[in-house]
Amino acid sequence: MESQVRGGTRWKRFAVVMVPSVAATACIGLALANNALAASFSVSGQSFKVTADKLVGTGFSQYGAVDTGYTLDGKKTAHPVAVSAFKQAQITNMCQSVVTPDIPLLGSVSLKLTAGGGGTPVEADNLYIDVAELGADATFKNINIGVAGKDITKGPGIRSGDTANPFGFSQEADLATLTNVKQTAWATTAGTFKLSGLKMSLSKGVSECY
């Protein structure tokens, strides 16, 4: 089904860019009112980039899963991911960016979110990150490598609704410290997010976190 066209703009595709920005604006109001909010960040059919100076997470687990969704033209997609889960996490100088290309009249449009600077990190509970690629310096405390997914005891456990093999390879640790983080992800969800110093920018062209 073709997107509705008005004045040469395909509004469904443009909405893919605008909906996350509206959600981010709503997050600002909720964060100011409640200091914490449930959050989910994903863009149908697109990965996004995330950087952080430091992520310190307690109750860490990681397991393989399949991320499913739809492309901008409505086709179903599936992507293998490593789900990194944290019971609690603090993230210093976090940046998330997504670029939507080929928008009529505009070309590429970039959405960038930053938070956790100025000495006050982002705080998250029950954090899940669907990772496609990750680069970081990592230190783990009391790590257990090779545990089956069904036997994970640390962290928030396998997320409800994940397509994951309960007998597949997994790992867990009491504490995970990652520095100089650069990753590509398909989704980020959390039970609560406290986003200190949240800033959002929407711009023409390609402007990514790395």
Residue 4: the pLDDT is: 39
Q: Across the chain, what does the average pLDDT equal? A: 82
The pLDDT tens digits of the residues spanning 84-97 come to 999 999 999 999 99
Contact call for residues 102 and 155 (beta carbons, < 8 A) = no
Query: Exposed/middle/buried for 27, CB within 10 Å: 0-12, 13-18, 19+?
Result: buried
Residue with tokens 């997609």: 77
Which has more pLDDT, 23 or 109? 109
In this structure, the strands spanning 169-194 and 37-41 are antiparallel
The answer to whether the beta carbons of residues 114 and 202 sit under 8 Å apart is no
* Structure-model confidence comparison of residues 62 and 109, the more confident one: 62
Which percentage of the chain shows pLDDT scores above 90?
Answer: 52
Q: What angle do CA 65, 152, 94 make, to 5 degrees?
A: 60
User: CA of 108: how far to CAs of 12, 166, 184, 204, in Å?
Assistant: 15, 40, 19, 6
pLDDT digits (tens, 9 = 90+) for 15-53: 444 444 434 444 444 443 344 556 676 765 688 999 999
- Give 160 or 69, the one with higher predicted confidence: 160
* C-alpha–C-alpha distance, residues 20 and 41, integer Å: 8
pLDDT for 171-188, tens place per residue?
Answer: 999 999 999 999 999 988
Q: pLDDT > 70: what percent of the chain?
A: 78
Domain boundaries, the chain: 5-202
The residue among 192, 180, 208, 190 whose CA lies nearest residue 84 is 190
- Higher-confidence residue: 71 or 171? 171
> What is the arithmetic mean of pLDDT over 110-131?
93
Name the nearest CA neighbour of 131 among 69, 48, 20.
Answer: 48
Confidence (pTM): 0.80
How high is the pLDDT of residue 53?
98
